[in-house]
């Protein structure tokens, strides 16, 4: 590897942004002892990349021993370089194996980026975490408890939204944009570029008070041919993986947090869930050279069930936010397809055999399903669900709820 290529790698510039788990060790024995955890993590979290860093002498061995992981140089031991590396890598957690030494700048960078530093003891004979690592670690784990137990402990950290925990100066551009855009006067001044929809009544008015809403997720059932016969007043969609297929491409509301999606669409109302997504939209639209006003609302602010549900360490997907918004609008008829919860036999997305059929680590299938069942069970209008997975789960939920209580003493 050339010096220039190594420099790019140590800045994280060769890492495509993807949710990742990073393991850092200093000897072959630690990585070998962690091998069962690495394999189990890859199997359990199919859509997460695993990155391994050790001394340069281990680079070739790591690549050969763990061909499904990414052997990668550690960042430069300077704060700015370490933060850039972590941001590019999109690491959800950093596992420090045994007594590995971490530069102070890296430890500080992990905290500033809102990521989780975890200390992992791979075996009884291994040296414990160094004092500076142990002090900074949010948890100290041991493989003596078993691989599954260790992964269970790691899981909440993988799910956490580190962007919410990222340390920012109160006068950072993002905080300034968010704070000022919410002031009434500023909000009116920038409405020609970005306009906030304040409540569900305002959203209903802008949509023409739709009586039939079609909610299409991105699962295979979103291509169900029966949809061609469905008449609707408003179409709700998620992100834009469906766009190239040319069906149902005129959403009234688009649920996303993705910068590229927000840049690519004009004339839709965006449903957002986080401050980070709102900042992305505001900065992009206010500074854009062209385009008219973009309207958006915060799902977490105008629909009560999203905030009231017990998500634990996880957070709702855009699909769940879409259904919650549709239910809150109280249409006479709600049609749902494409919400397959990554349990459809044809895979994650229509015609896509490459993407693992699993949620990303931020979401949990059981939490997602429980939320959707509680929403739909309370919906008073006509409900047509073309996702077999969701429909069968709702039928089972309702049938179970009707079962008589067992007699006392039995």
Residue 45 lies in a domain: yes
Residue 318 lies in a domain: yes
What whole-number distance in Å separates Cα of residue 391 and Cα of residue 238?
A: 20
Nearest to 367 by CA among 301, 319, 303, 296: 319
* Whether residues 143 and 189 fall in one domain: no
What is the residue-averaged pLDDT of the chain? 88
Nearest to 43 by CA among 117, 151, 142, 115: 151
Q: What does DSSP assign to residue 130?
A: P
Contacts of 390 (CB under 8 A, 6+ apart): 336, 339, 340, 341, 369, 372
Give residue-wise pLDDT tens across range 269-295: 999 998 888 888 877 766 554 566 789
* Whether residues 383 and 345 fall in one domain: yes
Residue 16 lies in a domain: yes
Residue 408 lies in a domain: no
Residue 410 lies in a domain: no
Boundary residue ending a domain (165, 190, 221): 165
Number of domains in the chain: 2
* Whether residues 281 and 160 fall in one domain: no
Give the SS3 label for residue 177.
helix
Residue 29 lies in a domain: yes
Classify the C-alpha dihedral 225-339-358-47 as positive or negative: positive
What local confidence, expressed as pLDDT, does residue 144 receive?
92
For 289-305, give the DSSP string.
Answer: SS---EEEEEHHHH-HH
Nearest to 321 by CA among 312, 332, 311, 313: 311
Q: What does DSSP assign to residue 145?
A: G
Angle between helices 365-377 and 388-402 (to 10 degrees): 70
Residue 207, φ and ψ in degrees, nearest 5: -90, 0
What local confidence, expressed as pLDDT, does residue 14 receive?
84
Residue 409 lies in a domain: no
Give residue-wise pLDDT tens across range 226-249: 999 999 999 999 999 898 888 999
* Whether residues 177 and 125 fall in one domain: no
What whole-number distance in Å separates Cα of residue 97 and Cα of residue 99?
A: 6
What pTM was estimated for this model as a whole?
0.81
What local confidence, expressed as pLDDT, does residue 307 receive?
82
Asked if residue 175 has pLDDT above 90, the reply is no
* Whether residues 161 and 178 fall in one domain: no
* Whether residues 92 and 239 fall in one domain: no
* Whether residues 72 and 53 fall in one domain: yes
3-state class percentages of the chain: helix first, strand second, coil last, to nearest 5: 45, 15, 40
Boundary residue ending a domain (144, 165, 186): 165
pLDDT confidence tier of residue 17, bands split at 50, 70 and 90: confident
- Residue span of the structural domain in which 232 resides: 173-402
Query: Diameter of the chain by CA atoms?
Result: 76
Residue 352 lies in a domain: yes
Boundary residue ending a domain (165, 198, 214): 165
What whole-number distance in Å separates Cα of residue 316 and Cα of residue 272?
A: 11
pLDDT confidence tier of residue 139, bands split at 50, 70 and 90: very high
Give residue-wise pLDDT tens across range 76-122: 999 999 999 999 899 999 999 999 999 999 999 999 999 999 999 99
Higher model confidence: residue 11 or residue 184? 11
Asked if residue 346 has pLDDT above 80, the reply is yes
* Whether residues 137 and 194 fall in one domain: no
* Whether residues 9 and 155 fall in one domain: yes
* Whether residues 152 and 220 fall in one domain: no
What local confidence, expressed as pLDDT, does residue 94 receive?
97
Q: What CATH number is attached to the domain comprising 75?
A: 3.40.50.11720
* Whether residues 59 and 82 fall in one domain: yes
* Whether residues 189 and 229 fall in one domain: yes
pLDDT confidence tier of residue 410, bands split at 50, 70 and 90: very low
Nearest to 33 by CA among 122, 114, 101, 120: 122
Q: What CATH number is attached to the domain comprising 354?
A: 3.90.1480.10
């Amino acid at each position: 590897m050339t010096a220039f290529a190594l420099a790019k790698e140590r800045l994280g510039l060769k890492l495509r942004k993807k949710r990742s788990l990073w393991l850092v060790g200093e000897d072959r024995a630690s990585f070998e002892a962690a091998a069962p955890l690495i394999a189990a993590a890859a199997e359990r979290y199919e859509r997460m990349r695993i990155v391994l860093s050790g001394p340069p002498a281990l680079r070739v061995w790591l690549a050969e021993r763990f061909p499904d992981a990414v052997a990668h140089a550690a960042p430069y031991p300077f704060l700015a370089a370490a933060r850039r590396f972590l941001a590019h890598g999109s690491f959800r957690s950093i596992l420090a194996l045994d007594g590995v030494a971490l530069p102070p700048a890296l430890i500080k960078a992990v905290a500033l980026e809102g990521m989780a530093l975890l200390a992992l003891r791979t075996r009884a004979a291994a040296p414990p975490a160094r004092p500076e690592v142990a002090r900074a670690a949010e948890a100290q784990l041991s493989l003596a408890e078993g691989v599954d137990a260790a992964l269970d402990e790691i899981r909440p950290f993988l799910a956490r939204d580190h962007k919410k925990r990222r340390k920012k100066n109160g006068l950072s551009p993002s905080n300034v944009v968010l704070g000022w855009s919410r002031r009434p006067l500023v909000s009116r001044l920038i409405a020609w570029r970005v306009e906030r929809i304040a409540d569900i009544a305002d959203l209903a008015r802008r949509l023409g008070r739709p009586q039939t809403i079609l909610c299409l997720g991105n699962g295979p059932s979103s291509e169900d041919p029966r949809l061609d016969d469905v008449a609707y007043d408003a179409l709700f969609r998620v992100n834009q993986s469906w766009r190239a297929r040319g069906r149902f491409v005129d959403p009234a509301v688009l649920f996303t947090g993705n910068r590229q999606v927000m840049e690519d669409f004009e004339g839709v109302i965006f449903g957002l869930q986080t401050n980070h997504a709102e900042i992305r939209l505001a900065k992009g639209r206010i500074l854009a050279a062209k385009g008219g006003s973009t309207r958006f609302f915060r799902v977490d602010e105008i629909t009560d069930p999203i905030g009231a549900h017990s998500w634990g360490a996880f957070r709702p997907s855009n699909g769940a936010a879409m259904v919650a918004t549709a239910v809150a609008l109280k249409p006479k008829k709600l049609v749902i397809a494409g919400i397959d919860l990554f349990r459809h036999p044809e895979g994650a997305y229509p015609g896509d055999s490459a993407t693992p059929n699993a949620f990303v680590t931020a979401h949990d299938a059981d939490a997602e399903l429980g939320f959707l069942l509680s929403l739909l069970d309370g919906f008073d209008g006509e409900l047509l669900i073309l996702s077999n997975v969701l429909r069968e789960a709702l039928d089972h939920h309702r049938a179970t709820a009707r079962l008589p209580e067992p007699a006392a003493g039995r």
